[in-house]
């Protein structure tokens, strides 16, 4: 086990370096950067000259976008990363690690609650739909799941805001706290919780469909296996056939899916957080990307890359618990 995990971690180092090169090159080749975004209005009004903009780009290391210039900037950035320095965010005026550390926990809380509720609802629905294949329950759940998958997050968010906030007035419109009230302690906690209900509803509705369909598909595949027909022919109770034999084998592909969700717990939901004006890491990443904040974009994407690799390593290790036949070597 230790040898296997060590080998995977070693491979992960090379994979992360490869991903970082790709991300850095794509980020540097964006049509505009932070300096362009900040000086566009001044240049149009004649308050700044092109030479002054070029000097600013040289100061921020954004002037040379040739291949050699980009690779030179990348190796400078990589050297700083090995020292634990991911750079200074242009937009937020703080170290990248500080910005990520301050704002990822709200996104993590929303994603974790959504993940738990989605799993608790989607997996039983998927199992039930597979057992009742082509029945009324299966058709109903499948149609609702496809609607949830097909709905764009911004459209569903706007729909619920209009219905539950504007027309009915049951829930707050946007933001994390009520700006017109001064709250502390438990009252502040309840106010924040109330503001998070709508984003949670949107996230859960959008997440249930895919996981439910995935569970149903894998359940149907296992239910059609020869050993399931043999178990039924021997008179094994249907409950044991479904949950002891079928679902246990369905867990293997599900573990892969659930392990891949780890980066999503910290990455934030960019569109949902932007629509609801939540100060999560997703909305901060969106603003930094639009502004061409290269240090933040690099640090954020490297953070997600490492979480993705870690998630799949955890999935591989969990295979042993799910299926004792799997040996890690």
Cα 46 to Cα 39: distance, rounded to the nearest angstrom: 10
**Is residue 264 within 8 Å of 229, Cβ to Cβ?**
no
Q: What is the mean pLDDT of residues 312-328?
A: 69
Beta-carbon neighbour count of residue 245 at 10 Å?
A: 19
Q: What mean pLDDT is predicted for residues 153-167?
A: 87
How much is the pLDDT for 133?
A: 84
For residue 267, is pLDDT > 60?
Answer: yes
Contact assessment for residue 43 and residue 50, using Cβ atoms and an 8 Å cutoff = yes
Length of the chain as a residue count: 329
Name the class of domain 101-322: mainly alpha
Whose CA is closest to 74, among 32, 18, 12? 18
- Report whether 15 contacts 309 (CB < 8 A): yes
Q: What is the DSSP letter of 31?
A: S
Q: Where in the chain is the domain with CATH 1.10.3720.10?
A: 101-322
Burial of 75 (0-12, 13-18, 19+ CB in 10 A): exposed
- Which residue's entry shows tokens 């870690």? 310
Residue 241 and residue 225: Cα distance in Å, rounded? 12
218 Cβ neighbours under 8 A, 6+ residues apart: 250, 253, 254
CA 24 to chain centre: 20
Q: How confident is the model at residue 324 (pLDDT cuts 50, 70, 90)?
A: low
pLDDT in tens, 58-114: 777 777 777 788 888 888 888 888 888 888 888 888 888 899 888 888 888 888 888
Strand partners, 95: 88
Angle between helices 247-259 and 96-131 (to 10 degrees): 160
Give residue 230's pLDDT: 86
Helix (H, G, I), strand (E, B) or coil at 88: strand
Average pLDDT over residues 216-223: 86
The model's pLDDT over 269-316, given as tens digits with 9 standing for 90+, comes to 788 888 888 888 888 888 888 887 888 888 888 888 888 887 777 777
Collapsed DSSP state (helix, strand, coil) of residue 126: helix
The answer, yes or no, to whether residue 327 has pLDDT greater than 80, is no
Give the pLDDT band (50/70/90) at residue 56. Answer: confident
Helix 281-290 / helix 294-322 crossing angle, nearest 10 deg:
140
Identify the pLDDT of residue 305: 82
pLDDT for the residue numbered 170: 85
325 pLDDT band (50/70/90 cuts)? low
pLDDT in the model for residue 321: 67
| pLDDT (0 to 100) of residue 270 | 82
3-state SS, residue 95: strand
- pLDDT(323) > 80: no
Average pLDDT, the chain: 81
What confidence score (pLDDT) does residue 229 get? 83
Locate 27 and state its tokens. Answer: 């980020």
Q: What 3-state DSSP class applies to 286?
A: helix
The C-alpha atoms of residue 269 and residue 159 are separated, in whole angstroms, by: 18
3-state secondary structure of 256: helix
């Amino acid at each position: 086990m230790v040898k296997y995990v060590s080998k995977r971690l070693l491979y992960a180092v090379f994979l992360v370096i490869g991903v970082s090169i790709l991300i850095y090159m794509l980020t540097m080749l964006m049509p505009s950067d932070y300096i362009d975004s900040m000086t566009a209005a001044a240049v149009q009004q004649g308050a700044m000259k092109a030479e002054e903009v070029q000097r600013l780009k040289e100061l921020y290391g954004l002037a040379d976008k040739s291949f050699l210039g980009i690779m030179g900037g990348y190796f400078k950035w990589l050297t700083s990363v090995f020292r634990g320095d991911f750079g200074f965010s242009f937009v937020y005026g703080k170290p990248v690690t500080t910005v990520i550390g301050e704002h990822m926990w709200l996104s993590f809380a929303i994603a974790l609650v959504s993940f738990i509720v989605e799993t608790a609802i989607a997996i039983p629905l998927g199992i039930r739909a597979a057992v009742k294949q082509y029945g009324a329950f299966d058709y109903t759940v499948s149609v609702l799941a496809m609607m949830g998958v097909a709905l764009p997050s911004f459209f569903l968010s706007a729909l619920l805001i209009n219905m539950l906030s504007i027309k009915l007035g049951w829930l707050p419109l946007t933001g994390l706290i009520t700006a017109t009230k001064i709250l502390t302690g438990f009252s502040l906690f309840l106010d924040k919780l109330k503001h998070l209900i709508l984003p949670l509803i949107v996230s859960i509705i959008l997440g249930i469909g895919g996981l439910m369909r995935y569970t149903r598909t894998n359940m149907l595949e296992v239910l059609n296996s020869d050993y399931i027909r043999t178990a039924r022919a021997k008179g094994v109770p249907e409950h044991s056939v479904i949950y002891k034999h079928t679902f246990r084998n369905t867990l293997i592909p599900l573990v892969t899916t659930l392990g891949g969700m780890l980066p999503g717990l910290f990455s934030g939901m960019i569109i949902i957080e932007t629509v609801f004006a939540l100060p999560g890491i997703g909305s901060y990443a969106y603003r930094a990307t639009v502004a061409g904040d290269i240090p933040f974009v690099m640090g954020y994407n490297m953070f997600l890359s490492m979480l993705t690799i870690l998630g799949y390593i955890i999935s591989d290790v969990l295979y042993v618990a799910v299926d004792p036949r799997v040996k890690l070597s």
